[in-house]
Amino acid sequence: MGGPNLLNRVFDDTHKLLIGGHRVAAASGRSFETLNPATGEVLAKVAEAGVEDVDAAVRSARAAFEGAWGHMKASERGALLLKLAELIRRDEDELVRLESLDSGKPVSAIRRQDLPAVLDTLTYYAGMADKINGHVIPARPDALTYTVREPLGVVGAIIPWNFPLMIGMWKIAPALACGCTVVLKPAEITPLTALRIGELALEAGFPEGVLNVVPGFGKVAGQALVDHPDVDKVTFTGSPAVGRQILQGAAGNLKRVTLELGGKSANIVFPDADIDAAVKAAGAGIFFNTGQVCSAGSRILVHHSVHDEVVERLAARAQSTRIGDPLEASTAMGPLVSEVQMKRVLDYIEIGLNEGATLVTGGSRRGEAGYFVEPTVFAGVRHEMRISQEEIFGPVAAVLPFQDEEDALRIANGTAYSLAAGVWTGDIGRAHRFTRRLKAGTVWVNTYGPTDIRLPWGGARDSGFGREHGDAAIENFTEPKAVWINTGR
């Protein structure tokens, strides 16, 4: 599928909500437009979920949890996840193009990272579904005491616009494997693949109401999901500001919350590193997905003895990055996701100039159509500058020199974030020593950026709390129950 047939589907009728296994219009009749970031033109109209729609979705999810889904064998849930993976493989071309059109992500990047991660996540948690075990704990000789893990119930999953398919599945797959049901609220500017995944779940045989999709705006649909008394868990990926609002709303019924928020990650290059490899990875670490990555290596800390060499090489990589139509296989960097985000990034570039940083390359909008910004490198950046402290979420690298390990550690740990970091060195002792002292949920050594569903993912402070992936996700969507059976003497 794809090509003209896909475009006709995208541009034709308003994309409706998915509630209780049916595509329905918003109760208010309202809809909104989603734009193609590469052109700025209207891509599709989407039904706008409101409070009434979210309530209907939650009620549907609750009915499924207490009904067909709750009575299904764990192995049957796993089989359905595998069937969904099979359908995604079948419709790979359609999903890749749809994600690219909606988000501006290059098709090459989606095929290389996003889609394989979606399939890996589904197959991993399909295998976990019937292996969520408790333990027999011999507390006393006159009792059989053991634990079981039970699904939390209805999960509200709120996903961002930078990796709609991948992060969406990071939440959907483990929640469903655990036996929960899901109300998914995609970002309003990238809702199309979430709706398509919902359709494929129905085709795979998931009971009605197990996965509901309610596109809408955060202040209405998102807040309604957070506030709803019958939602047992909220899992959110997005900004720290919204994360704080979610915590406040979740207090109403003390629902569980997992937050994966922002980052200002340090990518640290020591003089004994492989400079070629470090510069290549540093460029990918900030320019991949147009810098719209929570773990982007936006602060590149370089030992003063190799600082100028790294800046020169990084600028050359920025200048050679192929920017263009995301649907072209040769495109390496597409547009920012929206005009709002483009203006935010351009404003930060102006802030960097006003703060006295040296603009080495880039710094401008590319063309007049779409939301393209040149890959940008700043040198002469001081630790206290806003471009060193605040998350820009765009293709803007801030290069900071450091003197020694203690200086590098001071700078690396000196922000409000602690999501990720990178260390480049040929000294294995330094690698271990430095990794222990970095405040980060993930530390890459002599690489930057890879993730795997088997490893925990998350941070602390303004990067949020809790962990996704692996066994941690099973804990996110279940709770233990202790069982005590009196056996007498």
From 294, 374, 391, 468, active-site residue: 294
State how far the Cα of 226 lies from the Cα of 245, in Å rounded to an integer: 9
CB 175 within 8 A of CB 212: no
Options 260, 374, 391, 468, the catalytic residue: 260
260 is catalytic: yes
Cβ atoms 53, 17 nearer than 8 A: yes
Phi/psi at 221 (5° precision)? -70, -45
Q: Measured in whole angstroms, how far is the alpha carbon of residue 1 from the centre of its chain?
A: 26
Is residue 227 within 8 A of residue 150, CB to CB? The reply is no
Does the active-site annotation cover 475? no
Tokens 């192995």, located at residue: 75
Beta strands 266-269 and 42-47, pairing class: unpaired
Contact 39, 371 (CB under 8 A): no
426 DSSP assignment? S
Residue 358 near residue 378, CB atoms below 8 Å: yes
Sheet holding 464-465, edge to edge: 22-24, 17-19, 211-213, 181-185, 154-158, 233-237, 256-260, 464-465
Burial 154-164 (b: 16+ CB within 10 A, else e): bbbbbbbbbbb
* Angstrom distance (rounded) from CA 479 to CA 463: 24
Residue 456 neighbours by CB distance under 10 Å: 14
From residue 106, give the alpha-carbon distance in Å to each of 113, 163, 188: 11, 12, 20
Tokens of 2: 């794809």
CA atoms of 13 and 156, how far apart (whole Å):
27
d(CA 203, CA 18): 13
| DSSP H/E element including 47 | strand 42-47
Kindly list the catalytic residues: 260, 294
